[in-house]
């Protein structure tokens, strides 16, 4: 499939190079002037699911999954099943192809016959990943496909990322948007789980520094733990609790520890993390919320 695509693009480039300036101008007619908020393109698509015309699949999905749509009628457009496109310049409906059969205009400078995808903005460095089965942006040379995670990651992560089976084939744990084909930037946490960049930033604004899925710390928290050491040292417990011991579970390393009770937080004896939860012993203390409150008071 990939060799066929490369050969097709090569033959198209060769054909274009042989065109006159007038012919090339005709092919470029309307470039950048058509499309929607998602893509610049010179065609619309006929949705195979409902037989309606939309600028792109995202426009379809937004319209068909809106609050105004009957829940029984809500659905997504199956991108690979699109068969008909409509030229934005001449209005001719035709089979999916890069150049209009009627006016000859290029309907998308980037075109993928597998995804039935058009885009005039090639600055995104679009590429098709055969393993993912969809087109991605950022340049193929900058990404690798992890067969266990079943998605593309930056090559900077190739030798050091934590594999999680089908890591992006689920909804964002904060906003619940499906991550695999999301147009928003995605962060891979140290634990291997994935989340939207903007959702992680919002979590951190609310002093939440652990993965919403597995509760492991999302980054290097050593500086925060040092601050907590000082806070706890300067906050002695009442005499009634001085010798009170509780069992804790560390969310970061998974170790159990028997530690002295403190109302602020409990430190793992194994990895020295304060990202812990009390599992036995009275009185109970909501450690995670206490840590968040302490961090909010000692930030900056």
CA distance 114 to 176: 27
CB 251 within 8 A of CB 213: no
Q: Where, residue-wise, is CATH 2.20.28.10 in the chain?
A: 228-278
Q: Is the pLDDT of residue 292 over 60?
A: no
Q: What is the mean pLDDT of residues 108-136?
A: 96
Q: How far, rounded to the nearest angstrom, does the alpha carbon of residue 194 sit from its chain's CA centroid?
A: 7
pLDDT band at 27 (very low <50, low <70, confident <90, very high): confident
The two tokens of residue 245 are: 């011991």
Looking at per-residue confidence, does 6 or 228 come out higher? 228
CB 195 within 8 A of CB 189: yes
Looking at per-residue confidence, does 147 or 280 come out higher? 147
Is CATH 3.30.1220.10 the classification given to domain 228-278? no
Which CATH class name applies to 168-219?
alpha beta
Q: What is the mean pLDDT of residues 18-47?
A: 83
CA distance 105 to 139: 26
pLDDT of residue 21: 61
pLDDT of residue 253: 95
Q: Where, residue-wise, is CATH 3.30.40.10 in the chain?
A: 168-219
Q: Is the pLDDT of residue 8 over 50?
A: no
Q: Mind listing the pLDDT tens digit for each residue in 131-185?
A: 999 999 999 999 999 999 999 999 999 888 899 999 999 999 999 999 999 989 9
* Residue-averaged pLDDT of the chain: 87
Q: What is the mean pLDDT of residues 225-245?
A: 92
Residues paired with residue 246 on neighbouring β-strands, in sequence order: 259
As a whole-number percent, the residues of the chain with pLDDT over 90 amount to 77
CB 153 within 8 A of CB 146: yes
The two tokens of residue 264 are: 């602020």
pLDDT band at 290 (very low <50, low <70, confident <90, very high): low
The two tokens of residue 139 are: 């340049």
Q: Is the pLDDT of residue 64 over 60?
A: yes
Tell me: cis bond preceding 283? Omega within 30 of 0 counts.
yes
Please give the C-alpha separations between residue 272 and each of 31, 35, 223, 224, in angstroms, as whole numbers: 58, 54, 12, 11
Q: Mind listing the pLDDT tens digit for each residue in 177-195?
A: 999 999 899 999 999 999 9
Q: Is the pLDDT of residue 14 over 70?
A: no
Three-state SS for the chain is CHHHHHHHHHHHHHHHHCCCHHHHHHHCCCCCCCECCCCECCEEEECCCCCCEECCHHHHHHHHCCCCCCHHHCCCCCHHHCCEEEECCCCCEEECCCECCCCCCECCCEEECCCCEEECCHHHCCEEECCCCEEECCCHHHEEEECCCCEEEEHHHCCCCCCCCCCCCCECCCCCCECCCCCCCEEECCCCCEEEHHHHHHHHHCCCCECCCCCCECCCCHHHHHHHHHHHHCCCCCHHHCCCEEEEEECCCCCEEEEECCCCCCCCCCCCCCCEEEEECCCCCCHHHHHHHHHHHCCC
Q: Is the pLDDT of residue 13 over 70?
A: no
């Amino acid at each position: 499939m990939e060799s066929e695509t490369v050969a097709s693009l090569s033959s198209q480039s060769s054909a274009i190079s042989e065109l006159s300036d007038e012919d090339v101008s005709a092919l470029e007619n309307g470039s950048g002037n058509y499309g929607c908020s998602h893509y610049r393109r010179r065609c619309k698509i006929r949705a195979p699911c409902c037989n309606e015309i939309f600028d792109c699949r995202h426009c379809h999905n937004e319209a068909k999954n809106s609050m105004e749509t009957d829940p029984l009628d809500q659905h997504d457009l199956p991108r690979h099943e699109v068969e008909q496109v409509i030229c934005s310049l001449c209005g001719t409906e035709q089979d999916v192809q890069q150049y209009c059969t009627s006016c000859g205009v290029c309907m998308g400078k980037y075109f993928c016959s597998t995804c039935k995808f058009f885009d005039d903005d090639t600055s995104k460095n679009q590429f098709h990943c055969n393993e993912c089965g969809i087109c991605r942006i950022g340049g193929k040379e900058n990404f690798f496909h992890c067969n266990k995670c079943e998605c593309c990651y930056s090559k900077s992560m190739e030798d050091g990322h934590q594999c999680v089976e089908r890591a992006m084939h689920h909804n964002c744990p904060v906003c619940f948007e499906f991550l695999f084909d999301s147009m928003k930037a995605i962060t891979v946490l140290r634990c291997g789980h994935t989340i939207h960049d903007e959702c992680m930033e919002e979590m951190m604004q609310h002093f939440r520094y652990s993965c919403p899925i597995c509760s492991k710390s999302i980054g290097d928290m050593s500086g925060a733990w040092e601050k907590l050491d000082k806070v706890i040292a300067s906050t002695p417990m009442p005499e009634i609790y001085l010798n009170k011991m509780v069992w804790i579970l560390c969310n970061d390393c998974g170790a159990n520890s028997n530690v002295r009770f403190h109302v602020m937080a409990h430190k793992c004896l194994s990895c020295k993390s304060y990202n812990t939860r009390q599992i036995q012993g009275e009185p109970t203390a909501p450690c995670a919320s206490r840590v968040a409150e302490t961090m909010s008071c000692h930030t900056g």
